[in-house]
A and B are shown apart, each in its own frame.
Chain A
Amino acid sequence: MADLTPEEIKHHVKTYVIVFVALAFLTVVTVAISYLDLGVGASVVLALGVASVKGALVASYFMHLIDEKITIYWTLLITAAMFLILMLLPLGNMLAQTKI
């Protein structure tokens, strides 16, 4: 990042604008979907799916993850694994709970 030319920066700026439009659009989409009666499973998958796409756009372009270095990727990979463990194992525990 320390040695980008002005041309490259201007190119990035164009990208930022495109991403912004995409994010605004996806926001509208996700709100629109919520008005449809799709059942819990589909609603969750779609809502989180759209959010993930939006999040990926923010991370990849605004946070420059797409050009980032491997050390950062490793950090995020490990974090993602821990995050998933934190989400899934307590839930799994609860679902498998012995019912008295």
Chain B
Amino acid sequence: MDIPYTVKDRPDTGLYNGKLGIWLFLASEVMLFGGLFSAYVFLRTGAESWPTGADILNVPLATLNTLFLITSSVTMVMSWASLKLKEFDKFKLYAGLTLLLAASFLVVKYFEYTAKFHHGLFPSTNSFLGIYFTLTGLHVLHIIGGMIVIFFFWMPGAKMWESDPDRFTNRIEIVGLYWHFVDLVWIFLFPVLYLL
């Protein structure tokens, strides 16, 4: 006996298990980042003074990073679409591009962080930097986590395409949903931290 609805949709809900699972996980992630955003709002509103993001942070670099992530979201959904069209090579290409763009994001972040440290700006320096490093740091951890999973499906896990293509396609859809969420968080992080 196999667990039902791992690949096929359950008729009354129209969902397969993994899709519901990942959306529930994303709901919890909304609350996780929400907790940090709530802390940001609380601290900023209660603060006597608060710096403008652009005065301390590098807006052009972050804009570039935003474009990297948005593009990686496109390549991620294209990798799924390629599988739906049974074009495995295109999947590999797009998934690889996604990883490349994600890595580029991390490289930019590395330069951003080290530049801050070089100028003596640390999380402990003030509340703004504290919440900046924490929010972007947690986001970076999520990017790394996503990259590990995408890499797994890009390389060793790709053999599931041979044995169970529909299930593999669903897994890529699920990973994609996670990845888009990570992009979504950045879409809010960027203006809040850098532009306001």
| Chain A residues proximal to chain B, CB less than 8 Å | 1-2, 4, 6, 9-10, 12-13, 16-17, 19-20, 23-24, 27-28, 30-31, 33-34, 43-44, 47-48, 50-51, 54-55, 58-59, 62-63, 69, 71-72, 75-76, 78-80, 82-83, 86-87, 90-91, 94-95
The complex places the Cα of A78 from the Cα of B30 at a distance, in Å, of: 11
Interface size class of B (residues with CB under 8 A): 35 or more
Given A79-B30, A79-B31, A82-B34; 8 other pairs, CB 8 A cutoff: A13-B81, A47-B196, A48-B188, A55-B184, A55-B188, A58-B187, A71-B14, A83-B30
| Chain B residues proximal to chain A, CB less than 8 Å | 7-9, 13-16, 19-20, 23-24, 27, 30-31, 34-35, 37-38, 41-42, 45-46, 54, 59, 63, 66-67, 70-71, 73-74, 76-78, 81, 84-85, 166, 170, 173, 176-177, 180-181, 183-184, 187-188, 190-192, 194-196
Q: Which residues of chain A are near B38, meaning CB under 8 Å?
A: 86-87, 90-91
Q: Is the interface of B mostly helix, strand, loop or mixed?
A: helix
The complex places the Cα of A23 from the Cα of B186 at a distance, in Å, of: 13
Cross-chain contact A71 with B20 (CB below 8 angstroms): yes
Cross-chain contact B46 with A94 (CB below 8 angstroms): yes
The one of B7, B14, B77, B84 in contact with A62, judged by C-beta atoms closer than 8 angstroms, is: B77
The complex places the Cα of A28 from the Cα of B85 at a distance, in Å, of: 33
Q: Which residues of chain B are near A91, meaning CB under 8 Å?
A: 38, 41-42, 45
Closest Cβ of chain B: how far from A4's Cβ, in Å? 6
Closest Cβ of chain A: how far from B129's Cβ, in Å? 19
